[in-house]
Amino acid sequence: MNDPSARLAQLRARVVELARAQDPYAHIFAGKEFRRDFVAGRTMVWSTLFGDIRDTTTRVLEIGSKEGRSALFWLEFFARAHLTCIDLFREDDAGRFDRNLAAYGPRLRKMVGTSIKALGSLREENAVFDFIYIDGSHQRDDVMIDCLGAWRLLREGGVMLMDDYTWMPDSPDAERVAPAVDTFLAWHGDAEVILKSHQVAVRKRSA
Ligand SMILES: C[S@@+](CC[C@H](N)C(=O)[O-])C[C@H]1O[C@@H](n2cnc3c(N)ncnc32)[C@H](O)[C@@H]1O
């Protein structure tokens, strides 16, 4: 096979397959409908990193839910939590999200539309969260808005996790996540970094 992108896709599929085979949380996703897997290989890191906040996390916000794979993990891992999911929920994802999450009705709020709009509504409601996962738009300016808007909703001591920090390193800055996360970290001395890898996690320091 000489086509590098086909080779890359094949390698990625193999990595996902291996990660799934070893995933102790695989049962969460069994029997659900997915076309993509943005979670394989992450559940072990998440469960280790967030084990200490598992019982105290009751209010979770997710920006970028797609078909609901990460949402399912948060609902199962943080078993006492209510989850708010923000996404454009484009037509081909919306049905799968609804079917995959159907069993969690009372513990779930779905906000359809752009994150900038939803974050504004949550701010007006004085919503507060213990844990926030940012995995929406990957455009620098959108990520900046998501980080800043979400940070205002995070309680002191709460944790915010941002995906795709190392995504597309050769793309222009405006099309990458990293410049926004780096700027957010430079502006926010109250963000204590607890993970910096393909994902970045921060804990909000007390004032
Ligand atoms: C990588 S996917 C999320 C994957 C999901 N967390 C999972 O683990 O399966 C990114 C999602 O962000 C959503 N999205 C992109 N831009 C957005 C925006 N400005 N506001 C809200 N959602 C957005 C897309 O519709 C897409 O479903």
Q: What is the DSSP string of 121-187?
A: HHHHTT--EEEEEE-S--SHHHHHHHHHHHHTTEEEEEEEEE--TTS-TTS-GGG-SHHHHHHHHHH
Q: What is the CATH number of the domain that holds 35?
A: 3.40.50.150
State the distance from the centre of ligand 1 to the C-alpha of 1, rounded, in angstroms. 32
Q: How many domains does the chain have?
A: 1
The answer to whether the CB of 146 is under 6 A from ligand 1 is no
First-last CA distance in the chain = 56
21 has pLDDT over 90: no
Q: Which domain holds residue 195?
A: 4-204
Q: What is the pLDDT of residue 1?
A: 57
pTM of the model: 0.94
Whole-number percent of the chain with pLDDT over 70: 100
Per-residue model confidence as pLDDT tens digits over 116-125: 999 999 999 9
Averaged over 99-124, what is the pLDDT?
98
Per-residue model confidence as pLDDT tens digits over 54-82: 999 999 999 999 999 999 999 999 999 99
**Gap between the Cα atoms of 45 and 19, Å rounded:** 12
